[in-house]
């Protein structure tokens, strides 16, 4: 981070302020961990902080300290809009384009107060007065840890803040196995453990909380998997009917996409999930090595993300979307 940006943020935080902290829509462990971690720090500094999620966060994150105080825009648009309009400062964490907040973009884009962005995705928009954006980081939570140090508040990191930050680091790194995991990541985690993070309990809370239905849905998803060895590609599809059959609740399909990469020789995988309510097919892409799914998602499926993990969507039917996907594969170079 630039010295003058750190100074600028310090100046903004010098007197108590009403601060809104925003994760992206359909927030994940990193989005909720970073926003709540920063929230607890700002409260300790005497600010009137609030986390405002565009929509509901998944159940497996409900143990995060004070997640019950998170406001959900799409559940209560009128009141939450009023809260947003009173904010004197806005942090946007773990995303870099306001459309990632869905409908909430309409409110955010009209605010005139300063925005601060902390994020690790590619190609940030320039809506923020201070932008801390770096794709070398595996998680926004690791960047928030750095930001707290830059601001001179390391001594304020307690077990609560550390647990929030640990959550984003562990979820966004695939439990420390993605290549974005650095020696610095492990050093930060070591510090967080010294502060008292109960890593075993957090792993249990995050990963050992399947419902019976979710595992059955996973079983169906795996049976639906197609493998295209000539393109080193696999993909999974799930219809709305299948989601209904297994009593789908939000978060149930989280992580299923990753199974496609665990097949020997596969470097590219996708999951296509039909969403009748929104009238779209939601797509997640994963890759190993240099095959750039961020570019792929941007080029063909109205999305984006990171080089090895990205999302997109399609307004075609599920079958047509998959047909389109398969036809694009022949144009890709998988010998990267």
Residues at the contact surface with Mn ion, assessed by CB under 5 A: 30, 94, 140, 172
Please, what is the minimum distance in Å from the beta carbon of residue 285 to Mn ion?
15
Nearest-CB residue for Mn ion: 30
- Per-residue tokens: 213: 């239905």
Report which of 179, 195, 176 is spatially closest to residue 37, judged by C-alpha positions: 195
Please, what is the minimum distance in Å from the beta carbon of residue 105 to Mn ion?
19
Please, what is the minimum distance in Å from the beta carbon of residue 174 to Mn ion?
12
- Per-residue tokens: 290: 């240099």
Give CA–CA dist 86/107, Å, rounded: 12
- Per-residue tokens: 336: 């990267």
Give CA–CA dist 302/205, Å, rounded: 33
Please, what is the minimum distance in Å from the beta carbon of residue 284 to Mn ion?
14
Give CA–CA dist 296/38, Å, rounded: 33
Please, what is the minimum distance in Å from the beta carbon of residue 96 to Mn ion?
11
> Which of 140, 253 has the CB closer to Mn ion?
140
Residue where the block lists tokens 């971690």: 37
> Which of 30, 274 has the CB closer to Mn ion?
30
> Which of 133, 314 has the CB closer to Mn ion?
133
Give CA–CA dist 166/221, Å, rounded: 29
Give CA–CA dist 181/35, Å, rounded: 21
Please, what is the minimum distance in Å from the beta carbon of residue 23 to Mn ion?
9
Question: Helix, strand, coil shares of the chain as percentages rounded to 5?
Answer: 45, 20, 35
> Which of 57, 325 has the CB closer to Mn ion?
57
Contact 256, 271 (CB under 8 A): yes
> Which of 173, 269 has the CB closer to Mn ion?
173
> Which of 1, 310 has the CB closer to Mn ion?
310
């Amino acid at each position: 981070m630039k010295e003058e940006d750190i100074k600028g943020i310090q100046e903004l935080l010098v007197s108590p302020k009403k601060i809104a902290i925003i994760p992206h829509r359909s927030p994940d462990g990193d989005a909720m961990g970073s926003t709540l971690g920063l929230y607890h720090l700002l409260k300790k500094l005497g600010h009137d902080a609030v986390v405002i999620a565009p929509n509901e966060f998944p159940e497996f994150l409900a143990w995060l300290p004070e997640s019950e105080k998170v406001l959900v825009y799409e559940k209560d648009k009128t009141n939450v809009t009023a809260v947003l309009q009173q904010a004197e400062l806005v942090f946007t964490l773990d995303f870099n384009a306001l459309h990632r907040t869905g409908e909430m973009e309409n409110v955010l884009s009209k605010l005139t107060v300063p925005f601060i962005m902390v994020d690790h995705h590619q190609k940030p928009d320039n809506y923020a007065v201070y932008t801390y954006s770096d794709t070398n980081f595996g998680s926004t939570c690791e960047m928030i840890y750095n930001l707290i140090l830059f601001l001179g508040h390391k001594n304020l990191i307690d077990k609560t803040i550390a647990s929030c930050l640990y959550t984003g680091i562990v979820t966004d790194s695939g439990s420390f196995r993605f290549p974005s995991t650095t020696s610095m990541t492990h050093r930060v985690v070591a510090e967080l453990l010294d502060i008292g993070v109960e890593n075993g309990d957090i792993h249990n809370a995050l990963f050992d909380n399947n419902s019976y239905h979710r595992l059955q849905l996973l079983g169906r998803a795996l049976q639906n998997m197609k493998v295209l060895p000539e393109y080193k590609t696999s993909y999974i599809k799930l219809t709305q009917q299948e989601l209904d059959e297994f009593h789908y609740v939000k978060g149930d399909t989280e992580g299923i996409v990753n199974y496609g990469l665990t097949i020997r020789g596969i470097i590219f995988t996708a999951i296509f999930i039909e969403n009748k309510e929104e009238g779209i097919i939601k797509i997640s892409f994963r890759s190993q090595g240099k095959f750039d799914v961020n570019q792929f998602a941007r080029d063909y499926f109205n999305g984006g993300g990171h080089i090895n993990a990205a999302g997109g969507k399609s307004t075609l039917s599920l079958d047509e979307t998959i047909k389109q996907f398969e036809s694009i594969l022949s144009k890709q170079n998988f010998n990267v």
